[in-house]
Structure 1
Amino acid sequence: MDLAVRLTPAASMDGFDGPVTDAAGVTRLKARVRAVAENNKANRAIENLIAKRLKIGKSAVSVISGEKSRSKIIRIAGDPDDLVTGLKGLSD
């Protein structure tokens, strides 16, 4: 399953702020991490945050597009039904 994310690095805290529609009309999950956007630290942080919240292994989550952009596509491996249920609770 692929997840579109709008990431804010160097935030005051890690978390999810719910869905947001960008200028191109794409709906993305708005997320923030404390890690800075250098040496892929923010990418690793969002991968770890998603894995932790979905209670899956870190290796099951990877940034596949947008490594140097705030708009990212993140691939999540696992049972689609379980992932959908877990993703619904991310912005709570």
Structure 2
Amino acid sequence: MRLAVRVTPKGGRDAIDGWALDANGRPHLKVRVSVAPTEGAANAAVIAFLAKQLGRPKSALRIVSGETSRLKMVEIEGLDEAEAEAVLGPRPAG
């Protein structure tokens, strides 16, 4: 499964802030992490946080695009839509 994630580094705490739609109406998950975006630290924090929330090993998640951008595409092995919705809430129609 692939998941669009908009990351807010130095967000004060690690948290999921729910779903939103971008300007083109595509859904993305809003995630904040407490670390700064220095040398991949925020990316690592996003992977670790999402893995913990989704009950997956960190090795099952990887950023497939947007490593230097706030909007990232995260691939999660072995996760289906129903499992994701149970943890992250329903994805808005986009």
TM-score (norm 2): 0.85
Per-residue CA distance 1:40-88 (angstroms, 9 max, x = gap): 1111100000100111101001111100000010000014243443333
For 1:25 and 1:88, locate their aligned partners in 2 and report how far apart those are by CA, in whole Å.
18
For 1:28 and 1:82, locate their aligned partners in 2 and report how far apart those are by CA, in whole Å.
17
Which residue in 2 is equivalent to 1:12?
Answer: 12
Where does structure 2 lack aligned partners over 5 or more consecutive residues? none
Determine what percentage of the aligned residue pairs are the same residue.
39
Which residue in 1 is equivalent to 2:88?
Answer: 87
For 1:74 and 1:16, locate their aligned partners in 2 and report how far apart those are by CA, in whole Å.
15
- Stretches (4+) displaced over 3 A: 81-87
Which residue in 2 is equivalent to 1:35?
Answer: 35
Which residue in 2 is equivalent to 1:48?
Answer: 48
Where does structure 1 lack aligned partners over 5 or more consecutive residues? none
Q: CA RMSD in A?
A: 1.6
